Structure 1
Amino acid sequence: MNHLTEAYVDSLALNSSAIKNGKDLVKKNSFPQLCQSEDGTIIFGECKGSGKDPYQCSVDVIKEGIPVFRCTCPSRQFPCKHNLGLMYAFTSGKPFAIAPIPQDIADKRTKAEKREEKQKEATTTDSPAPKRKPNKSALIKKITAQLEGIHIAEKLIFQLVTSGLGSLDKKALQTADEQAKQLGNYFIPGIQSALREFILIFRSELEREKVYPVSIEQLTTLHTLLKKSKEYLTNRLENPDLPIDAESTLEEWIGHAWQIAELRELSRVRYDIELLQLSFRSYSDPARGEFIDEGYWADLQSGQIHLTRTYRPFRAAKYIREEDSIFHVVHAKELAVYPGELNTRVRFEEATYRDAGPHDYQHIQQGASKSYTDVIKQVKNLIKNPLSDKHPVVLLYYAGIKKTETSYVLIDVQGKQIPLADIPYLNEPTTSLIAMLGRQHFENQAMLVMFEHNWATNRLEAQPLSIIAANEIIRLLF
């Protein structure tokens, strides 16, 4: 239980309300019994509840990095407030008596160990595990429905465009939104979200003259998405044995939710990888109807900047853990890598943590891009593809930061400059925070930035997300 700290418990909670409720239980002395096993792998106890009998709760950490929460309460949240309160009681120094592990928990441990042994035997045999065979008739039925949905989306866009973007009033947009909702029956949630985003652009409070350039870009994305999706799905319908596209982001654009099991079968997993989070933010996406928790991480092996993204539907947000900033180095036993380009999305489930140190920061610095000419070329080639990420994140080494009349610029060792600015996409200003940096941070450091093409000036701009110095990481967005 040495790794059980208050910050770690905070990271396990679903949201800030769960944290408050768990800590309140400790303040109210709601735990008449607090115990821990002799080997320190489990804490358990009783917590007063609304009924006459206290809830039996426990936190089992026999497998480091994968805590198991058990509680007799009816809550659908994991960990529930009683589990959180139990852990906060431990981290706050409350006395825990040494006691034998309850028999029911010991039995559950034994069953879990037997399951793991069977899984281990299955994965260590000479012959590889057979790949799952898709149900061909179900696949054909799904693709047929997807193509029908694409046809409906094409008709809707055609109607919007032929009537003229300037004529889109509230009534027309409301009708279009209702028609877009019907696409939810055709297994193309990604296309549906892209279409709703186009509609929401016009329903925003921006002046029409500012809306048109953004809407045209989104319309271009939609046109390309529908065209490529139609070609891809038609080919798969004609030949259902064709493998799923696991190299590009097209499947995710259509709306496919990759499962870790799928990514394993496609050999898109890496093992024993260390990651350090450099930036984090949470935001809402009305087009998807979800909250999104997004983190950018430095891969300490490859130097690549990865992306993690957790989606929390508005309707079910309180049942899904809200991610937060992580300041420790994460050691992922298995890292699933999604199809992608520059900032590939990754996912890990089983992980342990260690403190970050100067050697980690310096290692990240060494992987920063030093030639802005090469970076700008790479970013431009990326964002000109309609289905590529329009806001790539890059780690830049800079020889200096120079103040201009309106903002700042980064300067590389050849004197090439990249302007810094607060980009609309992030909707969170950070550039002004540069003025608060120490003088030592104005030269020979690394900066994580997010790029965006400014339509008004027709140039690339970058917003600073964090500074990576030799002995610290200064987060401007966390």
Structure 2
Amino acid sequence: MTSPWTAGQVASVAPDASSLAAAQKLAGSWSQTGQVENGLWGLCQGSGSKPYQAIVDLSGPAYKCSCPSRKFPCKHALGLLLEWSTGRVPVASEPLDFAAEWLAQREGKAAQQPVPAAKAVADPATAQKRAERVASGLVELDLWITDQIRGGLASMDISWEALDGVAARMVDAQAPGVAGALRSLAGAVAGAENWPELVLGELVRLHLLVVAHQRMDQLPGPLRDSVRAHVGYPVSTESVMELPAVRELWMVMGSRITEEKRLFTRTTWLRGRATGRWAILLDFSHGSPNFSGVVPPVGHVVDADLHFYPGAAALRARLGATHGEAEPFTTLPAGNIAAALEHYTDAVSADPWLRSWPVVVTDVTPSYVDGSWFLVDKSGSALPAEGDSRMMWTLLGISGGHPVSVCGTWNARCIEAFSVFVNGQVMAL
């Protein structure tokens, strides 16, 4: 039986603050709630005559509700989780009919997942054609970069349309990783006062990638894998799962869902309790954020095997076998600012195309000075911090002006927090 989540872990899956606030107001509106294994259900009385039917599959997690809300999870699913977190959802022998059908469908789909067939042997001719197409596209990209430098950044067209046009050419050249970098640059420079610095840094990074791709035969294996990953060569799930597993007690440090053109991406950050090694799990869902991948909630630790994608600074991984149930953790290994910067430096030294790296800094106080945010430790050392206004003020409110532990990604300019650890709980931001 899955242990109840804390209020902070429930908050970590909320789509926004208003949904969580609305869910908290539903206390006292519930009836016929119950739990069996990984399933929760309950009836929530709204303004209509018929109560809403809310169901949660904790193994996803996944959510279903009869309300018309387009948010996932809706306030009713969140409210049900809050009821469960406070111990007001009793254990049942079997689910109610409306919940049993959906939970059975979920279980059936998981059982019917096809067993991966033997890996097909790649057609050498097809692979060679792709490599030639990528190489040709990257040569064209390098000529464009040279033109921008010779003409001067002041005369460079940094509009979305111009950069997106170059990105589209990289898509045609089957280099989607490069295309994504160009589109990210277009978003980063919009309205940025230091846009020449951002543009120059990205052009240098892309030129280095072109040169590395041209000399891949001379690179060590892990760095060659990194080059291929940044260019955008595909890596099959089957080949990743065949790589040796890294078994650890993996702490779920944060989770975030983003959306672009109705493609939802869930990013989950894990940190090994014994080794301090970081890992990222990526799950995708089109149309709605109902992810099929099973990931323990933020604030839990799980004894599991991770299979890392190849690379010089391997970070992305896939979850393999788990050994026992996930359990909440209440302590966090210390990590100061100097150690965080050293870990980032080591990662970029191994893979110079990395744009950020996960870090944890303990005993830092969020501070707002002259319109800018900082994380300040007891010695007075500080890291610049960035994020949307709501998130940063939430972080300050949680800290109450006192030292907390912050997990985030450092990109050589600032840290973007994704969770905060305080009073023995991890809360996603």
Q: TM-score range by the shorter chain?
A: 0.5 to 0.7
* Contact 1:292–1:309 (Cα < 8 Å) also in 2: no
- Relative distance call for 1:310 and 1:276 in structure 2 (3 A) is closer
SS of structure 2 residue aligned to 1:153: helix
CA offsets per residue over residues 77-112 of structure 1, 9 Å max, x none? Answer: 999999999989988968999669989999989988
Identity of aligned residues (%): 17
- 1:410 and 2:377 are equivalent in the alignment: yes
Give 1:436's aligned amino acid.
G
Aligned to 1:301: 274
1:472 to 407, 424, 427: 424
Give 1:329's aligned amino acid.
H
Q: Whole-Å Cα distance in 1 between the matches of residues 11 and 163 of structure 2?
A: 42
- Give runs of aligned pairs for residues 424-435 of structure 1, distance below 5 A: 424=386, 429=392
- 1:205 and 2:177 are equivalent in the alignment: no
1:217 Cα offset (Å): 0.8
- 1:353 and 2:326 are equivalent in the alignment: yes
* Contact 1:247–1:339 (Cα < 8 Å) also in 2: no
CA offsets per residue over residues 111-139 of structure 1, 9 Å max, x none? Answer: 889879x97xx9xxxxxx96553233332
Between 1 and 2, higher relative CO (CA 8 Å, sep ≥ 6) is seen in 2
1:437 to 402, 425, 429: 402
- 1:275 and 2:237 are equivalent in the alignment: no
* Contact 1:15–1:321 (Cα < 8 Å) also in 2: no
Give 1:223's aligned amino acid.
H
Aligned to 1:168: 156
SS of structure 1 residue aligned to 2:130: helix
CA offsets per residue over residues 132-164 of structure 1, 9 Å max, x none? Answer: 532333323332332233233233333433333
- 1:229 and 2:200 are equivalent in the alignment: no
- Relative distance call for 1:337 and 1:401 in structure 2 (3 A) is same
- 1:344 and 2:315 are equivalent in the alignment: yes
Aligned to 1:249: 226
Aligned to 2:171: 184
Q: Whole-Å Cα distance in 2 between the matches of residues 109 and 311 of structure 1?
A: 17
* Contact 1:423–1:462 (Cα < 8 Å) also in 2: yes
1:329 Cα offset (Å): 1.4
Aligned to 1:51: none
SS of structure 2 residue aligned to 1:348: strand
- Relative distance call for 1:110 and 1:195 in structure 2 (3 A) is closer
* Contact 1:274–1:330 (Cα < 8 Å) also in 2: yes
CA offsets per residue over residues 439-462 of structure 1, 9 Å max, x none? Answer: xx7xxxx665654545xxxxxx76
- Relative distance call for 1:218 and 1:296 in structure 2 (3 A) is same
* Contact 1:45–1:58 (Cα < 8 Å) also in 2: yes
Aligned to 1:419: 381
CA offsets per residue over residues 12-67 of structure 1, 9 Å max, x none? Answer: 788899999999999999x9xx7989x767678999xxxxxxx9998778xxx367
Q: Which runs of 5+ in 2 are unaligned?
A: 45-51
SS of structure 2 residue aligned to 1:436: coil
- 1:145 and 2:133 are equivalent in the alignment: yes
Count of residues paired in the alignment: 410
Which of 1 and 2 has greater Rg? 1
Aligned to 1:266: 243
For normalisation by structure 1, the TM-score amounts to 0.59
- 1:219 and 2:208 are equivalent in the alignment: no
- Relative distance call for 1:435 and 1:333 in structure 2 (3 A) is closer
- Relative distance call for 1:309 and 1:437 in structure 2 (3 A) is same
- 1:157 and 2:115 are equivalent in the alignment: no
* Contact 2:55–2:77 (Cα < 8 Å) also in 1: yes
1:425 Cα offset (Å): 7.5
Q: Whole-Å Cα distance in 1 between the matches of residues 242 and 102 of structure 2?
A: 34
Aligned to 1:394: 359
1:227 Cα offset (Å): 1.9
Deviates more, 1:333-342 or 1:147-156: 333-342
1:205 Cα offset (Å): 1.8
Give 2:382's aligned amino acid.
L
Give 1:205's aligned amino acid.
G
- Relative distance call for 1:436 and 1:133 in structure 2 (3 A) is same
Q: Whole-Å Cα distance in 1 between the matches of residues 305 and 234 of structure 2?
A: 19
Aligned to 1:334: 305
1:219 Cα offset (Å): 0.9
* Contact 1:15–1:318 (Cα < 8 Å) also in 2: no
Q: Whole-Å Cα distance in 2 between the matches of residues 228 and 76 of structure 1?
A: 45
Give 1:334's aligned amino acid.
D
1:467 Cα offset (Å): 6.8
Give 1:328's aligned amino acid.
G
1:392 Cα offset (Å): 3.3
Q: Which runs of 5+ in 1 are unaligned?
A: 48-54, 123-128, 237-241, 412-416, 455-460
1:263 Cα offset (Å): 1.5
Give 1:187's aligned amino acid.
Q
- Relative distance call for 1:139 and 1:12 in structure 2 (3 A) is farther
1:298 Cα offset (Å): 3.0
Q: Whole-Å Cα distance in 1 between the matches of residues 343 and 4 of structure 2?
A: 43
1:218 Cα offset (Å): 0.9
SS of structure 1 residue aligned to 2:326: strand
CA offsets per residue over residues 323-371 of structure 1, 9 Å max, x none? Answer: 99944313154323234566823443776432323xx33xx23xx369x
CA RMSD of aligned residues (A): 6.1
- Relative distance call for 1:40 and 1:317 in structure 2 (3 A) is closer
SS of structure 2 residue aligned to 1:387: coil
1:404 Cα offset (Å): 13
- Relative distance call for 1:246 and 1:291 in structure 2 (3 A) is farther
Q: Whole-Å Cα distance in 1 between the matches of residues 289 and 300 of structure 2?
A: 27
Give 1:394's aligned amino acid.
V
